[in-house]
Amino acid sequence: MGMEGIGASVVRKEDKRFITGKGRYVDDIKLMGMSYAHFIRSPHPHAKIKGIDSSAALKMPGVLAVLTGQELVDDKIGNLICGWMIHSKDGSPMKMGAWPAMAPETVRFVGQAVAVVIAESKNAARDAAEAVEIDYEELPAVADVRAAIAPGAVQLHPEAPGNQVYDWALGDEAAVNAAFGKAANVVTMEISNNRLVPNAMEPRAAIADYNAAEEHFTLYTTSQNPHVARLVLSAFYNIAPEHKLRVIAPDVGGGFGSKIYIYPEEMVALWASRKIGRPVKWTGDRTEAFLTDAHGRDHLTRAEMAFDKDNRITGLRVKTHANFGAYMSLFSSSVPTYLYATLLSGQYDIPAIYAEVMGVYTNTTPVDAYRGAGRPEASYLLERMLETAARQLKVDPAELRRKNFITQFPHQTPVIMAYDTGDFNASLDAAMKAIDYAGFPARKAKAKADGKLRGIGVSCYIEACGIAPSKAVGSLGAGVGLWESAEVRVNPVGTIEVLTGSHSHGQGHETAFAQLVADRLGISISQIQIVHGDTDKVQFGMGTYGSRSAAVGLTAILKAMEKVEAKAKKIAAHQLEASEADIVIENGEFKVTGTDKKIALPMVALAAYTAHNLPDGMEPGLKESAFYDPSNFTFPAGAYICELEVDPGTGKTSFVNFVAADDFGRLINPMIVEGQVHGGLAQGIGQALLEHALYDGNGQPVTASFMDYAMPRADDLPSFKLSHTTTLCPGNPLGVKGCGEAGAIGSSAAVINAITDAIGNNKLEMPATPDRVWHAIHGKAA
């Protein structure tokens, strides 16, 4: 069944419900007796709560309750946690301020929940929220990282003196100092990585339903990892024990990291449902998403790269300040450390690297993993430096990269990662060919004659995906294992259900995962149902993020399939009176090799369940499960090249061409893979040209809707030219590496390198708006 097996661009099974309006997202669900929550949020970046008067609101029609942070404390609901322990250079554990789901005393960012109104309708809850009077005493606030760590800055948390969460380092400082001591050339750059808002198109939502007779909760939520949500809600937030809490993440409208975390709203909805004895629904609006979904990126970095006289990189020194916002979100601590500094070797053989990262509190929305999570920041930094170095050293940027490429594998970098395989020359060759790199000077000259500044920019990225080997991440401070689980159920009629701990919120698992099963058994994907997103159905799972679903989740399915096939072969051999070793599976049939004896899968399945004639001692049934823990990360890598034109009169950038050559190992469904790349590229290009979550000096957000935060639109982007090179990942039996984040990781630098090439000025920050580009051309500060 090659048409639907591995490597086939099968049209997606899940699409029919989405294109006909039959998707089932959280806000589409109605329960009997459902009430509606509306959160009252702080309008101040930093303030003391002096009093909350809800008496008028409680008298309004349809109002069921007004609940506050103090009541959460009284009911012993736990504070939000950060699940990855990072230790500072001096060995001390990171310093975390308490984050209650609703603030009882102090608010530390605009949008922090203070109270919630529960009412019979959304409008009634909103109206009543207007009538709740909250007396705030405003405090000084700080939004900028450098201002936050300056002496005399306002202090956010008593637990974190100087607003410092940690001061962490990785690498060999002495070796780096020695390399710089001998360097023939040094390139130094100050680079910021702009704060972004993930903006999945479906706003977050939750429905909590408490059954008092059973003391049981059901939570429908917009989650990328419902089992992790259940675990955290049970183990840390004291909502309910795991067996009394069912978490369902139905159709989820995009995540990009922002729906990994367990947010205050889910916690409060669960707690409120028990308090009022009714189901409680909360649906966020877009401004709530801007204010409360975990933001991404926000680094300030100073970096130096040392070169010898032959232009080989001999050392890299990096000092980064990471803005965490007002509280430590669930996995925030790992993002600018183990997901960032460990990728600072890029595709290059760099003998010595030393990175220091200071995590800083500010009066802004908490920051956590957003598509790429640390790896875009590392890749952007390195690729800006390589391009700038090439210009400074007067060598071709592609050739400077080639000279420094790692070519022997496995390769141990000085920053933990051991790259298993790759062919960086192959992807760079493919990208250069696709864009006709050699012909660029002629095109540039022609553009110049037309009054346009044309530039070309290269970016060669590598990322660590397939997150992650549990033992390795455990040794680095992770609070969870990062394996995945799967269960394959062959029904008595031969149809198959695959239960997976991965969660699809756009990635097409219902198709791609079915392709693996179809491939192995030679049956149609229509015979296979992928089940995910419900803790009552799937035993456990770690969810979908970090480009892990194929490398980890699908491998778990493969392991369960192998067990199913082994048992089915035993049954088939018994039925056919043949040797088990002679059974092969083809086109949905179990055949005795070299004969015409065969039995179809449904008959094997039926035999397993009727159990009338099974081999002696065999248990009835045909259902197996597996847990798969990867032995290493996977290392997708590739080369992106952007060619564009800048209008020197307006500073406006227009794309001419954007090519991407990626090595993701084996592709399960190339159509889906390319879609993932397109989306990633759009987010990386959005970061480079358009997007910026801005605060004023006092911590007031000034981009909190689609009217003032520039989301990429169709006419901001080009069509992309994609190609693939392949080195199979040796770390998993499928040879897959993961494709979900590559585009977002590699594309920003290609765009900025192209603009700086066009305008002849290396000093340019993202987003490269026409205003900034114009000033970079004309030499005046923006």
Partner 1 sequence: MSKVQLTVNGKTAAVEVEDRTLLVHVLRDHLNLTGTHVGCDTSQCGACVVHVDGRAVKSCTVLAGQANGSSVTTIEGIARGDELHPMQAAFRDNHGLQCGFCTPGMIMSAIDIVGRHGGVLDEATVRHELEGNICRCTGYHNIVKAVLDAAGRMKVAQAAE
Q: Residue 362: helix, strand or coil by DSSP?
A: coil
Torsion of CA 9, 10, 13, 19, to 10 degrees: 60
Q: Is 654 in the site for partner 1 (CB under 8 A)?
A: no
For residues 85-124, which are near partner 1 according to CB under 8 A?
123
Q: Is 699 in the site for partner 1 (CB under 8 A)?
A: no
Q: Is 438 in the site for partner 1 (CB under 8 A)?
A: no
Nearer to partner 1, 376 or 743 (CB): 743
Q: Is 711 in the site for partner 1 (CB under 8 A)?
A: yes
- Answer yes or no: are the C-beta atoms of 683 and 744 closer than 8 Å: yes
For residues 504-543, which are near partner 1 according to CB under 8 A?
505-508
Q: Which of 2, 11, 140, 159 is close enough to bind partner 1 by CB under 8 A? A: 11
Which residues share a beta bridge with 321?
300, 358
* C-alpha atoms less than 13 angstroms from C-alpha of 624 in its C-beta half-sphere: 18
Least distance to partner 1 from the beta carbon of 251, Å? 7
Count of residues near partner 1 by CB under 8 A: 59
Least distance to partner 1 from the beta carbon of 50, Å? 31
Residue 611 region by backbone torsions, left for phi larger than 0, else alpha for psi between -120 and 50, else beta: left
Tokens of 56: 């008028």
Q: Is 638 in the site for partner 1 (CB under 8 A)?
A: no
Q: Residue 325: helix, strand or coil by DSSP?
A: strand
Q: Is 679 in the site for partner 1 (CB under 8 A)?
A: yes
Least distance to partner 1 from the beta carbon of 606, Å? 31
Least distance to partner 1 from the beta carbon of 21, Å? 2
Q: Is 215 in the site for partner 1 (CB under 8 A)?
A: no
- x/- letters, 162..201, toward partner 1 (CB under 8 A): ------------------------------------xxxx
Tokens of 608: 């397993």
Q: Is 653 in the site for partner 1 (CB under 8 A)?
A: no
Sheet holding 583-586, edge to edge: 583-586, 589-592, 598-600
Least distance to partner 1 from the beta carbon of 122, Å? 8
Nearer to partner 1, 585 or 681 (CB): 681
Least distance to partner 1 from the beta carbon of 672, Å? 7
Tokens of 772: 């900034």
Least distance to partner 1 from the beta carbon of 157, Å? 33
Q: Which of 203, 366, 602, 630 is close enough to bind partner 1 by CB under 8 A? A: 203
- x/- letters, 293..322, toward partner 1 (CB under 8 A): ------------------------------
Phi and psi, residue 468, nearest 5°: -165, 160
Q: Is 250 in the site for partner 1 (CB under 8 A)?
A: no
Residue 41 region by backbone torsions, left for phi larger than 0, else alpha for psi between -120 and 50, else beta: beta
Of the ranges 139-147, 148-156, 294-302, 704-712, which one interacts with partner 1 (CB under 8 A)? 704-712
Q: Is 254 in the site for partner 1 (CB under 8 A)?
A: yes
Of the ranges 182-190, 233-241, 295-303, 674-682, which one interacts with partner 1 (CB under 8 A)? 674-682
Q: Is 34 in the site for partner 1 (CB under 8 A)?
A: no
Burial zone of 392 (CB within 10 Å; 0-12 exposed, 13-18 middle, 19+ buried): middle
Q: Residue 285: helix, strand or coil by DSSP?
A: coil
Q: Where are the beta strands (DSSP E) in 249-398?
A: 280-283, 299-307, 313-325, 353-361
Q: Is 675 in the site for partner 1 (CB under 8 A)?
A: yes
- x/- letters, 734..763, toward partner 1 (CB under 8 A): ---------x--------------------
Helix (H), strand (E) at residue 158: none
Q: Which of 136, 256, 271, 424 is close enough to bind partner 1 by CB under 8 A? A: 256
Q: Which of 7, 16, 190, 446 is close enough to bind partner 1 by CB under 8 A? A: 16
How far is residue 380's CA from residue 745's CA, in Å, rounded to a whole number?
A: 7
Q: Is 28 in the site for partner 1 (CB under 8 A)?
A: yes
Least distance to partner 1 from the beta carbon of 123, Å? 7
Q: Which of 587, 610, 705, 771 is close enough to bind partner 1 by CB under 8 A? A: 705
Q: Is 32 in the site for partner 1 (CB under 8 A)?
A: no
- Output DSSP code: residue 73: H
Nearer to partner 1, 170 or 672 (CB): 672
Q: Residue 171: helix, strand or coil by DSSP?
A: strand
Sheet holding 353-361, edge to edge: 164-171, 353-361, 313-325, 299-307, 185-193
Q: Residue 527: helix, strand or coil by DSSP?
A: helix
Of the ranges 143-151, 407-415, 620-628, 671-679, which one interacts with partner 1 (CB under 8 A)? 671-679
- x/- letters, 325..354, toward partner 1 (CB under 8 A): ------------------------------
Least distance to partner 1 from the beta carbon of 676, Å? 8
Tokens of 414: 């000085």
Nearer to partner 1, 543 or 680 (CB): 680
Q: Is 235 in the site for partner 1 (CB under 8 A)?
A: no
- Output DSSP code: residue 538: S
How far is residue 383's CA from residue 375's CA, in Å, rounded to a whole number?
A: 12
Which residues share a beta bridge with 724?
662
How far is residue 78's CA from residue 66's CA, in Å, rounded to a whole number?
A: 20
How far is residue 456's CA from residue 658's CA, in Å, rounded to a whole number?
A: 10
Q: Which of 400, 558, 672, 729 is close enough to bind partner 1 by CB under 8 A? A: 672
Burial zone of 170 (CB within 10 Å; 0-12 exposed, 13-18 middle, 19+ buried): buried
The three-point CA angle 431-436-441 to 5° equals 125
Q: Is 482 in the site for partner 1 (CB under 8 A)?
A: no
How far is residue 478's CA from residue 721's CA, in Å, rounded to a whole number?
A: 38
How far is residue 441's CA from residue 704's CA, in Å, rounded to a whole number?
A: 42
The Cα-based distances of 331 to 355, 365, 370, 582, 719 in angstroms read 20, 15, 11, 50, 34
Nearest to 76 by CA among 266, 237, 269: 237
Q: Is 702 in the site for partner 1 (CB under 8 A)?
A: no
The three-point CA angle 598-601-606 to 5° equals 110
Q: Is 579 in the site for partner 1 (CB under 8 A)?
A: no
Least distance to partner 1 from the beta carbon of 714, Å? 4
Least distance to partner 1 from the beta carbon of 152, Å? 39
For residue 33, count other CB atoms closer than 10 A to its CB: 9
Least distance to partner 1 from the beta carbon of 427, Å? 20
The residue written with tokens 């090659």 in the block is 2
Q: Which of 64, 465, 478, 681 is close enough to bind partner 1 by CB under 8 A? A: 681
For residue 452, count other CB atoms closer than 10 A to its CB: 18
Q: Is 23 in the site for partner 1 (CB under 8 A)?
A: yes
Q: Which of 8, 12, 282, 300 is close enough to bind partner 1 by CB under 8 A? A: 12
Q: Is 710 in the site for partner 1 (CB under 8 A)?
A: no
Cβ neighbours for 759, distance < 8 A, ≥ 6 positions apart:
453, 455, 646, 648, 773, 776, 777
Q: Which residues bind partner 1 (CB under 8 A)?
A: 11-12, 14-25, 27-28, 30, 123, 198-203, 251-254, 256, 285-287, 505-508, 671-672, 674-676, 678-683, 705-707, 711-715, 717, 719-720, 743
